[in-house]
Amino acid sequence: MMVSYFNLDSNKQIYFASDLHLGAPNHNESRERELLFCNWLDDIRNNAQALYIVGDLFDFWFEYKHVVPKGFVRILGKLADMSDSGVSLYFFPGNHDLWVRDYLINEIGFKMCKEPVIHSWNKHRFYICHGDGLGPGDIGYKIIKKVFLFKPFQWAFRLIHPDIGIGFASWLSRGSRARTGEKDLIKVAKERELLYQYACAESENIVIDTWIFGHRHLPMAETLPNGKQFINLGDWIVHKSWASFSAKEGVVLNK
């Protein structure tokens, strides 16, 4: 995997957040969460050099040729304004918003990352991805994900009228999150965490200083057997957690 190299300004920071699931479980709770995140964006924008949205910004997202899901204008406006001011924005499609296409690239200014990336900031190497489908087990989901990413399947879904397609898929997405939400919040021994196992195995093949994932809604900061960092960003549904990196403080998980 190629490494992208960046220099971090001495007075700037890099920020990471994931799993807002905007749109769920209902309009009012989603709006409250959206406003909190917008306030956080206001707080960080003056010293942010880059922001990574590490998956599941939306509880469901699908782009038709001329239609996108309505709503989310506050957060999209804030993000577009940050991009226009020079902040680098990176978007990692999660399992709930994996059907993004080019709308967020063209309108917001996101750099789309549909595969894991290795980004080196001041020679500190980050491995970054949402994390769904990685690690051992979970065969059923891995098969379903391949189906969802199958181009003919997406083409067929696009033939459904948006009022029906988006409504039905949003209902399924909310149900999926509800079914897994409690499980996501249960802390288990780190050796049983699938993403931790994945980082342990892959760290034998590539040199990484900090592994950063979303997907698992429980914020975690652990140390791998080789002494490197493992971070799960948690979520903005329960924890309002996020991570930052600066030349002075290194990587910090805020929860």
For 50-73, how does the pLDDT look when each residue is reduced to its tens digit (9 = 90+)? 999 999 999 988 888 888 888 899
Query: Domain 3-254 maps to which CATH number in 2.40.50.150, 3.40.50.300, 3.60.21.10, 3.40.1280.10?
Result: 3.60.21.10
pLDDT single digits (tens) 186-211? 565 677 788 999 999 999 999 999 99
Confidence tier at 156 by pLDDT (50, 70, 90)? confident
Q: What is the dihedral of CA 164, 170, 171, 172, to 10 degrees?
A: 110
pLDDT of 180 higher than 50: no
User: CB of 18 within 8 A of CB of 215?
Assistant: yes
Q: Where are the domains of the chain?
A: 3-254
Look at residue 148 in the predicted model and tell me its pLDDT: 66
Residue that has been written with the tokens 């971090």 in this structure: 8
Q: Are 251 and 229 in contact (CB under 8 A)?
A: yes
CA 156 to chain centre: 26
